[in-house]
Amino acid sequence: MKIVYTDNNATTKVADEVIQEMLPYFGEFYGNPSSMHTFGDQVGKKIKEARQKVADLIHADPDEIVFTSCGTESDNSAVYSALNAYPDKKHIIASNVEHPAINNLYKLLKRTKGYKVTFVPVDKKGLLNLDILYKSLSDDTAILSLMWANNETGVLFPIEKIAQKTQEKGVLFHTDAVQAAGKVPIDVRTAGVDMLSLSGHKIHAPKGIGVLYIKKGLKFSPFLIGGHQEKGRRGGTENAVSIIGLGKAAELAKEHLILMDTKVRGLRDYLQKALLEKIPSCSVNGDLEHRLPNTLSIGFDAVEGESILLMLDREGICASSGSACTSGSLDPSHVLMAMEVPFKSAHGSIRFSLSHYNTKEEMDHVIASVVPVIEKLRAMSPFWKDGKLV
């Protein structure tokens, strides 16, 4: 069966060009990039090249790029560094729709270290309440961490605008740009953030490689204590193969930004329009305007997400759900709940997230599959009768 992969916010296909770039470093060139000898140093040189390419993607200086093992490590490193830099500050801020890498870390810090935590709410469209955010910034705030784009809905936060305020108030600002990178332009020079997290496997590099951008001059204390690697900012022998792959992926991501804005956005809008037209009682989650070009979160009334996904799986379609049953918890995702998406559609919310590898034919297959699946599930739902919600 042909796979139609529309789950690119979960992970992405490793680009063929990336695989080609990495292959020699699995075998022939196995040297340690830190070695004095030429054999190892040729890997070191290649890492230097990769660092430059990653820096280029976000308009940073290569010295500001630290390679980590994943987005979660980058997020954790950023927060712990801020807390170490300002041991007297006992207040931390995030939104209430953050990724668990921030959300659960904050909850832990509250529970075990007594930090005062502000989770700034979003509105029904997933947009951040800036009034509450600005009012919560204080001299006691050690760090503000906000995602650039939401993984579930694709909703974008106005990072640059917020950074102006944090700079005024002298509050450290970290952004988790894992979902934004490669989908919308990122320029750290104008964004004004202090730290920024990226993840390789969301931009067609392999899993297990992440990046933390640390603004030049920022006081930083490492999360992993070890050797001199990454200029002492992250111990541990470099994941050379993946870093080299990420370099190539970053280069491609920069080239493909235009494709995201045109082709991918077009496919997403095509899918969205067709589903809204062909299926009654469904609605898009998240602000339509301030949204990633590749993401569609759509809620179908009176049916449940896991059932939808398993039936789509039979058609070779890969997607995600914000429903409770897929995650093992009982409430729908905290993101949809924070947006007060009504239960009737929250439980039946599906996320389609596209990449430039998707085609119009694939969208047609998705549309042709989703319509009968929803019909079939509604036919057995006690909350659906005579073509409407009861």
Partner 1 sequence: MWDYTDKVKDHFLKPRNVGELEGANAIGETGSLNCGDALRLYLKVNENERIVDASFMTFGCASAVASSSALTEIIKGMTLTEAAKLTNEDISDYLGGLPKEKMHCSVMGQSALKKAIANYRGIQILEKPGQMVCECFDVTDLEITDAVKKNGLKTTEDVTNYLKAGGGCGKCLDRIEALIESVMLKDRMIQ
What residues contact 46, with CB distance under 8 A and at least 6 apart?
25, 29, 33, 240, 244, 247
* C-alpha span between 11 and 111 (Å, rounded): 31
Asked if residues 188 and 166 have their Cβ atoms less than 8 Å apart, the reply is no
User: In the complex with partner 1, which residue's Cβ is closer, 77 or 103?
Assistant: 103
Give least dist CB 10 to partner 1, A.
Answer: 13
Active site includes 318? no
Residue 84 CA from chain centroid, whole number = 26
Give least dist CB 384 to partner 1, A.
Answer: 8
* C-alpha span between 247 and 18 (Å, rounded): 8
Asked if residues 177 and 197 have their Cβ atoms less than 8 Å apart, the reply is yes
Give least dist CB 95 to partner 1, A.
Answer: 20
* C-alpha span between 169 and 178 (Å, rounded): 26
Write out the residues near partner 1 by the rule CB under 8 A.
Answer: 302-307, 310-311, 314, 323-326, 328-332, 343-344, 347, 379-383
What letter does residue 309 receive in the DSSP assignment?
A: H
Give least dist CB 375 to partner 1, A.
Answer: 13
User: In the complex with partner 1, which residue's Cβ is closer, 17 or 306?
Assistant: 306
Specify the amino acid at residue 240: A
Give least dist CB 331 to partner 1, A.
Answer: 6
First to last CA, the chain: 37
Specify the amino acid at residue 372: P
Asked if residues 125 and 165 have their Cβ atoms less than 8 Å apart, the reply is no
User: In the complex with partner 1, which residue's Cβ is closer, 239 or 381?
Assistant: 381
- Asked whether the CA dihedral 145, 168, 82, 114 is positive or negative, the reply is negative
User: In the complex with partner 1, which residue's Cβ is closer, 45 or 314?
Assistant: 314
Count helices and strands in the chain by DSSP H and E runs? 14, 15
Give least dist CB 330 to partner 1, A.
Answer: 3
In this structure, what are the phi and psi dihedrals at residue 191, rounded to the nearest 5 degrees? -65, -35
* C-alpha span between 4 and 347 (Å, rounded): 23
User: In the complex with partner 1, which residue's Cβ is closer, 22 or 303?
Assistant: 303
User: In the complex with partner 1, which residue's Cβ is closer, 206 or 322?
Assistant: 322
272 closest CA partner among 184, 175, 132, 153: 153
* C-alpha span between 210 and 14 (Å, rounded): 15
User: In the complex with partner 1, which residue's Cβ is closer, 276 or 310?
Assistant: 310
* C-alpha span between 214 and 237 (Å, rounded): 20
Give least dist CB 71 to partner 1, A.
Answer: 22
Which residues are known to be catalytic? 325
